[in-house]
Amino acid sequence: MDNYVELTSRVKLLEYHQRLLLKMLSAPNLEFYRLVIENGISEQEVQAFNKLCEEMNIKMEEQKAEGFLHFHPLFIEFLNHLPEKLDVQEVIQSCLQQHLYEPLFIEFNKCL
């Protein structure tokens, strides 16, 4: 039974990575997708990452409205929730190249 569950999980991961690869064929600069595939990140992990980025983006906008200029505490919070498989510098650079959550990652890039 364990083998079946593991195989099903691996097939789902491969299917997800295959969908990302197909997207990359028409737009090879999708660096975040490359990072996801190289690190074996699952669709659920990417969904959790996107949710985290959306939450961080909202918090950053709220902080900007309150007059904040530095977002290092927000960056630390992001680091604490980032999957261990991912390198923060690679994530920031790949998201900027792919234009994902740009305002957020422009600010986080300053924290490196």
pLDDT in tens, the chain (112 residues): 789 999 999 999 999 999 999 999 999 899 999 999 999 999 999 999 999 999 999 999 999 999 998 999 999 999 999 989 999 999 999 999 999 999 999 999 999 9
Distance of CA 67 to the CA centre of its chain: 27
Q: Which residues 6+ apart lie within 8 Å of 68 measured at CB?
A: none
Nearest-5° angle of CA 9, CA 93, CA 49?
Answer: 35
Cα(87)–Cα(91) distance, rounded to whole angstroms?
Answer: 6
CATH number of the CATH domain containing 39:
1.10.3750.10
pTM, to two decimals:
0.91
Residue 14, Cβ density class (10 Å: 0-12 exposed, 13-18 middle, ≥19 buried): exposed
Number of domains comprising the chain = 1
Range of the domain at 25: 2-111
Residue in the block written with tokens 């939450």: 55
